[in-house]
Structure 1
Amino acid sequence: MRAHLMKRAVLALALAVPGAAIASAVAAPPAHADGCYTWNRTLSRGSSGSDVRELQLRIAGWAGNNNVVELDGQYGPKTAAAVRRFQSAYGLRSDGVAGQQTFAKLYQIQDNDCTPRHFTWNEMDDGCGRGGWTGGPLTTAQTRQNALRTMWKLEALRKGLGDQPLEVTSGFRSRTCNSQVGGASNSQHLYGNAADLVSDNRSLCQIARAARNHGFSGIIGPGVSGHNSHVHVDSRRENNRDNSTNNTYWAAPDCGIAPGYR
């Protein structure tokens, strides 16, 4: 059953501006009852810390064409640009500063288990049935963290496709599962970094083309053997831990995306 039919929408909570005069550049957002994470200060260029990393995780899908937002806790130009794209997509003031309105929108589209509104943990742990996030090369915690970033990228991709539903047909795979389905020995599915996608409302080529703008460094779709019935997207570039190469690879020749590294 599709995630967008399974999950309840999280209601937006109205955030009241305190009456006291406080400079907006340093004002902390009002306290917010959120089951996953709550930001307690405005973030902008030069900010750093775990709260910046939590923001980066959620706006990773707004990195822009052939770019990624590293989860490094440093609010640099790429993070600011991604925040601007997020703000613009949701009709907010697009200034690249993550403050009260930006956080309110994130709370609105975030469920209490930290997943975005339209995707679920169960949906991402379904390579060959529920695997429990074990049996891959990483720890369970690392795999789940990668899967969470993947879901937030998918939420951005869904928004970029006009809020049209996307279905994940394969997410995390254990080594055993990956072998059963004939996956590559170094498949990004093993790391929680990948998802195979279909949609009733958007063509595979529309998905593949849009994915280029939403933080996916791996895109494989129509025209590639074994990928004419779905689009594979992944975050292989972030999985290159020593950052020695830019291994962004896209291939969907039937969609006008020539195979090759970018």
Structure 2
Amino acid sequence: MRHFLTRAIAAVSLLVASTAVGLITTAGAAQADGCYTWGRTLSQGMSGEDVRQLQIRVAGYPGTGGVLGIDGAFGPATRSAVIRFQQAYGLGADGIAGPNTFNRIYALQDDDCTPVNFSYAELNDCNTTWAGGNVSAATARANALVTMWKLQAMRHALGDQQIRVTSGFRSQACNAAVGGASSSRHLYGDAADLGAGPHSLCTFAQTARNHGFAGILGPGYPDHNDHTHVDGRPSRFWSAPNCGVAGRTMRDPLGDN
């Protein structure tokens, strides 16, 4: 028995040592991921589905007032977003997405590609199919995914404290049931209403300006004193008068209730 225990302990020690060596020797390489695995380093001038997947993950880092296009083309805006993402997580900020950047993204996402602190269920308290809105179910779900990554960026900027989503995607039936506007961005899947928690509604409205939301409505805007609304409408419309947030465009605002 003593010899058996000695051999078992030695085997475990060897396994631990081998694992440690493996970790050391492979630390510089991006690891395979259950959601999406990048197979090449990405930099400005490149294009493809892998660039589009990267853009989704860094959509929350376009800079103040910016909105990053999710088009699969790695241009200057994408490079700047990658730099801000890298800076936010203490990585070398060169605007080139390589193993260290991808490994950080892998650590931030679940196997269904949602960021670890948000879920599809959280962005849809209407139905499980994502159908019945103003866009196809697939588009609504894809829009919600981008919104979640923007919220993840906001969450990190706010000290990695909870952001409570009180409303997300709505079908036309769900929207009518809560008295939502007929043109509500909730019908497109790219909207989220945020309730106060560790942070105030004004903090959300102010922070959202830096994380890719074209639509921001909060305290002081009609019917928004109990939540802050963020969305991905086509043109900017910010109004949270009680928070000092404004950024109106010449176009009429889209409803969002």
Taking structure 1 as the reference length, what is the TM-score of the superposition? 0.83
Aligned residue for 1:158? Answer: 155
Structure 2 Cα separation of the partners of residues 114 and 131 of structure 1: 17
* Residues 99 and 31 of structure 1, relative CA distance in 2, 3 Å threshold: closer
Aligned residue for 2:109? Answer: 110
Any conservation in 1 of the 2:239–2:247 contact (CA below 8 Å)?
yes
**Displacement, 1:16?**
4.5
Bigger Rg, structure 1 or 2: 2
Structure 2 Cα separation of the partners of residues 254 and 15 of structure 1: 52
1:106-140 Cα shifts (integer Å, max 9, x gaps): 000010011001001100111xx435201112211
Any conservation in 2 of the 1:161–1:207 contact (CA below 8 Å)?
no
1:130-152 Cα shifts (integer Å, max 9, x gaps): 35201112211111100100101
**Displacement, 1:17?**
4.5
- Confirm whether residue 171 of structure 1 aligns to residue 159 of structure 2: no
Gaps of 5+ in 1: 1-13, 19-28, 238-246
Gaps of 5+ in 2: 1-22, 251-257
Aligned residue for 1:69? Answer: 68
**Displacement, 1:79?**
0.3
Q: How does 1:23-42 map to 2 (within 5 A)?
A: 30=29, 32-42=31-41
Aligned residue for 1:57? Answer: 56
Aligned residue for 1:81? Answer: 80
Q: How does 1:74-223 map to 2 (within 5 A)?
A: 74-126=73-125, 129-223=126-220
**Displacement, 1:199?**
3.5
Aligned residue for 1:224? Answer: 221
Q: Secondary structure at the match of 1:216?
A: coil
Q: Secondary structure at the match of 1:70?
A: coil
Any conservation in 2 of the 1:131–1:174 contact (CA below 8 Å)?
no
**Displacement, 1:228?**
0.5
Q: CA RMSD in A?
A: 1.6
Which protein is richer in helix relative to its size?
2
How many pairs align? 228
Identity among equivalent positions (%) equals 55
Structure 1 Cα separation of the partners of residues 217 and 92 of structure 2: 34
1:167-191 Cα shifts (integer Å, max 9, x gaps): 1100000001111111111111001
Q: Secondary structure at the match of 1:197?
A: strand
Structure 1 Cα separation of the partners of residues 168 and 120 of structure 2: 10
Match of 1:256 among 226, 233, 244: 244
Taking structure 2 as the reference length, what is the TM-score of the superposition? 0.85
**Displacement, 1:221?**
0.1
Opposite residue 101 of structure 1, the aligned amino acid is N
